[in-house]
Structure 1
Amino acid sequence: MAESWDDSHELGSQSDDSFQFERQYIEPIYDAFICPLTKQIMKDPVTIENGQTFERGAIEKWFNECKENKRKLVCPLTLKELKTTDMNPSIALRNTIEEWSARNEAVQLDVARKSLNIGCPETDILRALRFVQHLCQKNHSNKHLIRNTELIPMIVDMLKSSSRRVRCRTLDTLRVVVEDDDDNKEIMAEGDNVRTIVKFLSHEQSKEREEAVSLLYELSKLESLSDKIGSVNGAILILVGMTSSKSENVLTVEKADKTLENLEMNENNVRQMAENGKNGLECLVGWGGFGFRISLVKMK
């Protein structure tokens, strides 16, 4: 049976595999960790005059609303009047929450690691990939953790999946993992991985092409990798074709164009672009029976 795939599916949606992952594997949450206003785990807990504790941003908003609406200054929990808006950081509670979060994330990451296997169910792999994204987006230092636990090669292996959903989520996850992290980019680009990413530029599904070019754009920001991308046979030709394609979405065209700009940092790439442009080369480039017809008339 053919696998269906909706190109409009938002990979970063908070629908959200990562939070299902957390709910399933997390340690018990203590009531003291939860802000009475936001109902979320506090990141910056502060204690007000009457001893009640809230998330800083939430209680500040409450105080501002009291002032703007000319209401009495009261505690949102007890509704008793307050004399001051003073807030004291609850350092001990914040440290306890951070330690609790670190323990839980370590457990969840171990579960995610076990799920990053081609033989695992699609839902488990997607959930694990989304959790990795969640960690990286939560704190940049977690990207070091992903690298040091050798998860990047395991994530790359998911590109071999027969599931389009898994492949697209993998490309998106790799983009998040390498963004603003040169060490992760170097690891991601080891072996034949760059060539594998380039092949996705010619896949039939537009979502795979979009995710692949976004990942290549991040990698191309590192000068040492711009040469590696340009050296892949057909990479520059395909990128040029994408920039002039009327069938690609605006984001894909924009990322392809910016990737080419980054590739110009390398002399060999510039020479290749110039030679192709000078000769007005027209060729058909493709893998797996799918290709782009590219006409190079003028290069920057």
Structure 2
Amino acid sequence: MIRESNESDRRLLTFPAVHPCEGISLPTLFTSLFTISSRICSFKSKVFSSNKKNARKAIRMIEVLQIFLEEILDQRWGVPDSVILSLSELHLTFQKLQFLLEDCTREGSRLYMLMESNRVATHFQVLSRSVVTALDVFPFSSTEISEEVKEQVELILKQARVGDFEVELEDKRAMMGVLSILNQFENTIIPSESNLRWILDHIGVRRWSECNKEIKFLDAEVGYERMKEDKGKLAVLSSLMWFMCYCRCVVIEVVDNGEDYPKSDCGKEREILNWCFNPGDFLCPISLEVMNDPVTIETGHTYDRSSILKWFGSGSLICPKTGKSLSSIELLPNLVLRRLIHRYCSKNGIPMADIGRRTRDRDNKATSQPGSFAAQEAMKMLASFLCGKLHNEAEVERNRAAYEIRVLAKRNIFNRSCFVESGTIPYLLRWLSSRNPTTQENAIAALLNLSKHPKSRSIMVQNGGLELIVSVCKKGMKLESRDHAAATLYYLASDEENRRLIGEEPEAIPSLINLLKDGSDRGKKNGLVAIFGLLFHPENHKRVLEAKAIPLLVSILKTCQREELVTDSLAVLATLAEKSAGAMAILQNGALHPTIEILNSSSTSRVGKEQCASLLLSLSVNGGANVVALLVKIPSLMGSLYSLLSEGTSRASKKASALIRVLHDFCERRPSGFKTPVLPQEQFVHVW
């Protein structure tokens, strides 16, 4: 009769109730009404942060009506049409009231529901009158209910007709307090901490984790309104979100064990996540890129929003996967999959900004500025506040400030810009030398997120950051700190001059190589991409070879089950193979046959196959004729290369085409009866 509530649904004050089906039996309708009324009455024990009196009044009304339903549930009497009509309308109203109460008690939405108090009170009023309307046609004279119950019902209905559901005075005061503080933000006035604390107390938010849930809820709503391009609602929600961000940093004194706080078992959580989900499921079937905004269409298949919109825009009103014609092009956000994708990227050290240029450009545009002037000024004030904490306070305060910067700098470009401008980087670099493992981790994680801002990289280098970051990468007190340091070096290496400077740091490349051997999967990933970035500077090729990277890279090809690590290792090897010294070292370490096996595997991704083709081409060009002679003797290779011509990426197709030409040219030049020499094992490659 009524769908189960789902906390993950994005349903706020919309109440998608449905009428009972036609021809429903009276006992079934009564049973469903009684079930819903019981659910409504169960809200009596829950906490309402606002509209408390209105909610209690509505629940009391349903409690009386539930007694009425209990008395008539087992009665045998004729069923006039007015009874079915009355109970059907009552059923619809009960559903809406249940949804309203769910919204009022929804976790993380307390500030939002406070600011919607006028609208919520109106909903209570309308639903109360709807109950009266539904029972106006009920034939009470045809039922055998007790006079006491009948009197209670009549009294409740009379009160509902004349009663008002108004916003409580304390709720009004809290709403005005929030608006006043937002106005202070706009005028760059620092709000009173006592006023902030009173508002948090009013809505029952007293812990860091509770405050963070409010921020996450509002952030999700901001994203939803941004997709709808409702600028007015977006500005309001952005302001409220930054109100809570400011409160979290300034008012809340202790970071409790919220889900965003670093945990010692994060590696185990990451491992579970990796085993449970196939990253291939995160690719859009149209663009073959990781989906940043997955949406589901009528057929139940999921695509990235921008890709499917382009598909529809071209006039193709069919499902790309099934070819089925669509009667509707409504897009439903797949929030569960979106969270899984973001969590997977986060746990594996894959910056969401690196999952595709198309996605990156759109996200940068969306987050380059906050949604309102109040949000903008609140963030600037918060950056200054946290910078002061880094400079002046005790160890516990410095650690807390570094953690908040870490969390906020991860969010978007504007936040990073504010922290860079406020001067936080020199202080964060200073605390990399802290003997407190948590402080060091939070400082390097904050620097990692800030390093995504172009201006921050030069500031880090100018303040002696390279040596400090390399030191953490080599001997950080926590494995997570070493992982973050490697990722920071990756972003620093995006600037050409920094590639040279990092390469000249004696311990930089060896530290990254050590991560490939002893680091976590995330550390290996960060080490690989950092090494790949450094190889754009020619002098670093020799340094990577001297650090004995190739045996570790080849070992990953042979033994690692993580596809992204194998793909990244192939990319590094392909770059090293562009020079003869690198190609010879790769052959000597037996990389040729594992590469061909990966290329021939049906489970290898298109990007992985592209890197295989690139590596094989470089080895063929720089490894000598003996390599080509060995490749032409492998029957399965040519089929895989021809498959890449039609099924691979554009770059893979070019690499495969070039390699095919090399193999054909070799065969054409080979004289009749010529026997291809076997590649000397001791000089070039170990043959399995």
Give your verdict on TM over 0.5: yes
State which of 242, 245, 255 in structure 1 corresponds to 2:611.
255
Could you tell me whether the CA contact under 8 Å between 1:118 and 1:161 is conserved in 2?
no
State which of 525, 535, 546 in structure 2 corresponds to 1:168.
525
> Against the structure 1 CA distance between its residues 230 and 185, is the aligned structure 2 distance closer, same or farther, given a 3 Å change threshold?
same
Distance in 2 (CA, whole Å) between partners of 1:135 and 1:122 is 20
State which of 541, 548, 562 in structure 2 corresponds to 1:185.
541
| Mapped pair 1:145 → 2:145 | no
The unaligned stretches of length 5 or more in structure 1 are: 17-22, 29-37, 43-96, 283-297
Distance in 1 (CA, whole Å) between partners of 2:483 and 2:456 is 27
The answer for the alignment partner of 2:582 in structure 1 is 225
| Mapped pair 1:198 → 2:554 | yes
The answer for the alignment partner of 1:126 in structure 2 is 483
Q: CA deviation at 1:279?
A: 6.9
| Mapped pair 1:157 → 2:514 | yes
State which of 451, 461, 471 in structure 2 corresponds to 1:114.
471
Could you tell me whether the CA contact under 8 Å between 1:118 and 1:158 is conserved in 2?
no
> Against the structure 1 CA distance between its residues 226 and 124, is the aligned structure 2 distance closer, same or farther, given a 3 Å change threshold?
same
Could you tell me whether the CA contact under 8 Å between 1:26 and 1:104 is conserved in 2?
no
The unaligned stretches of length 5 or more in structure 2 are: 1-264, 280-343, 355-385, 393-413, 419-453, 638-659, 664-688
State which of 570, 574, 594 in structure 2 corresponds to 1:238.
594
TM-score in terms of structure 2 length? 0.28
C-alpha distance after superposition, 1:40-71 (max 9, x if no partner): 759xxxxxxxxxxxxxxxxxxxxxxxxxxxxx
> Against the structure 1 CA distance between its residues 119 and 242, is the aligned structure 2 distance closer, same or farther, given a 3 Å change threshold?
same
Q: CA deviation at 1:111?
A: 2.9
Distance in 2 (CA, whole Å) between partners of 1:267 and 1:100 is 38
| Secondary structure at the counterpart of residue 189 of structure 1 | helix
Could you tell me whether the CA contact under 8 Å between 1:236 and 1:273 is conserved in 2?
no
Select the structure that is richer in helix: 2
Amino acid at match of 1:173: A
Q: CA deviation at 1:12?
A: 4.3
Amino acid at match of 1:121: K
Q: CA deviation at 1:218?
A: 1.6
| Secondary structure at the counterpart of residue 602 of structure 2 | coil
Could you tell me whether the CA contact under 8 Å between 2:599 and 2:612 is conserved in 1?
yes
Where has structure 1 moved over 6 Å in runs of 4 or more?
A: 23-28, 97-100
> Against the structure 1 CA distance between its residues 106 and 215, is the aligned structure 2 distance closer, same or farther, given a 3 Å change threshold?
farther
> Against the structure 1 CA distance between its residues 220 and 267, is the aligned structure 2 distance closer, same or farther, given a 3 Å change threshold?
closer
> Against the structure 1 CA distance between its residues 274 and 143, is the aligned structure 2 distance closer, same or farther, given a 3 Å change threshold?
same
Distance in 1 (CA, whole Å) between partners of 2:602 and 2:613 is 14
The answer for the alignment partner of 1:271 in structure 2 is 626
C-alpha distance after superposition, 1:220-268 (max 9, x if no partner): 22233112212222x1111111221111111011011111101111353
The answer for the alignment partner of 2:434 in structure 1 is none
Could you tell me whether the CA contact under 8 Å between 1:197 and 1:212 is conserved in 2?
yes
Q: CA deviation at 1:128?
A: 0.7
Amino acid at match of 1:238: P
Distance in 2 (CA, whole Å) between partners of 1:105 and 1:12 is 27
Amino acid at match of 1:230: L
Task: Flag the structure with more relative contact order, 1 or 2, with Cα contacts below 8 A and sequence separation at least 6.
Answer: 1
State which of 553, 573, 580 in structure 2 corresponds to 1:216.
573
> Against the structure 1 CA distance between its residues 106 and 27, is the aligned structure 2 distance closer, same or farther, given a 3 Å change threshold?
farther
Larger radius of gyration: 2
Trace 1:47-86 onto structure 2 (pairs within 5 A).
none
> Against the structure 1 CA distance between its residues 149 and 104, is the aligned structure 2 distance closer, same or farther, given a 3 Å change threshold?
closer
Distance in 2 (CA, whole Å) between partners of 1:271 and 1:246 is 28
> Against the structure 1 CA distance between its residues 177 and 26, is the aligned structure 2 distance closer, same or farther, given a 3 Å change threshold?
farther
The answer for the alignment partner of 2:351 in structure 1 is 13
Distance in 2 (CA, whole Å) between partners of 1:241 and 1:254 is 13
Q: CA deviation at 1:209?
A: 0.6
TM-score in terms of structure 1 length? 0.60
Distance in 2 (CA, whole Å) between partners of 1:231 and 1:223 is 12
> Against the structure 1 CA distance between its residues 242 and 118, is the aligned structure 2 distance closer, same or farther, given a 3 Å change threshold?
farther
Could you tell me whether the CA contact under 8 Å between 2:482 and 2:523 is conserved in 1?
yes
Amino acid at match of 2:595: L
